Amino acid sequence: MNKKYIFFDIDGTLAAGGYEHTYIPESAKLALEKLREAGHFLSIATGRAHCMALSFMENLGFDNMVSDGGYGLTINKKLLGIRPLPKDKIVTLVNECEEKNIPWGIQVDDSHFRLTPDDRFSEASNDKYMKTKVVPGLRPENYENIYKMYIAGTYPLEKNLTHLNALPWYRFHKEYLFVEPADKAYGIRKMMDYFKADYKDAVVFGDSGNDLSMFVDDWTKVAMGNAIPELKEKADYVTTDVDKDGIYNACKALNLF
């Protein structure tokens, strides 16, 4: 078999149990081991910020990672950079949130902290995903880069924000929205170009809405059994659930080892 370049989403794909009870199935660990023995190139492809995914990368023995929804690139354990969100659009959305009295926060660096202007975001979200630091008078204009934005509120908040759709966003939690990059294919292509690899030799694994961006016709697409219907429709192969040996079963079915 030709060497394949295999990219794995984390949550719901490599990892089961959700954010608070995350674990990697033993069959997935075995699959990664056998893929390495077969000589394939392995990478993570996650919407998580680089710093929020680094422990997965290290614990599972990955040297390469597409992070930050496609905007972050780590090669041979070195972060080459993270492309920020368009600041002007973030400023416009922040202004709308302020006008409508909606709590918000931003991530301005590669850290585990989001910044908020007051305590309202923490009170509304009760979030345990990352830490929150209050900066009185916080304004996005005062920072060079904005990597993510967070907006507190339950559905249908997203229908009432005019400027939200000028940016990529997702609702992973009931209590708040993530405004974050959503172009994993962009990062995968950059990774493939770096190694001068043919796109047709890539294989991607995913399960959720932010994986739709990497389910393109350039390469082989595998959807987990627990994936959203839209992803399964675009997939070349649908495997079993993440906690039912989905990674291992797909690799075996595709003759990757």
Q: Each residue of 179-200: pLDDT tens digit?
A: 999 999 999 999 999 999 999 9
Q: What is the mean pLDDT of the chain?
A: 96
Residues written for the chain: 257
Q: Is 161 in a helix, a strand, or coil? A: coil
In tens, the pLDDT along 108-140 reads: 999 999 999 999 999 999 887 889 999 999 999
Q: Are 104 and 152 in contact (CB under 8 A)?
A: yes
Q: Is 132 in a helix, a strand, or coil? A: strand
Quick one: pLDDT band at residue 1, thresholds 50, 70, 90?
Answer: low
Asked if the bond preceding 156 is cis, omega within 30° of 0, the reply is yes
Which token pair is 156?
A: 């249908």
Structural domains in the chain, CATH included, are 5-83+182-253 (3.40.50.1000), 87-179 (3.30.1240.10)
In tens, the pLDDT along 71-115 reads: 999 999 999 999 999 999 999 999 999 999 999 999 999 999 999
Task: Map tokens 């078999």 to a residue.
Answer: 1
Strands 131-134 and 113-116: parallel
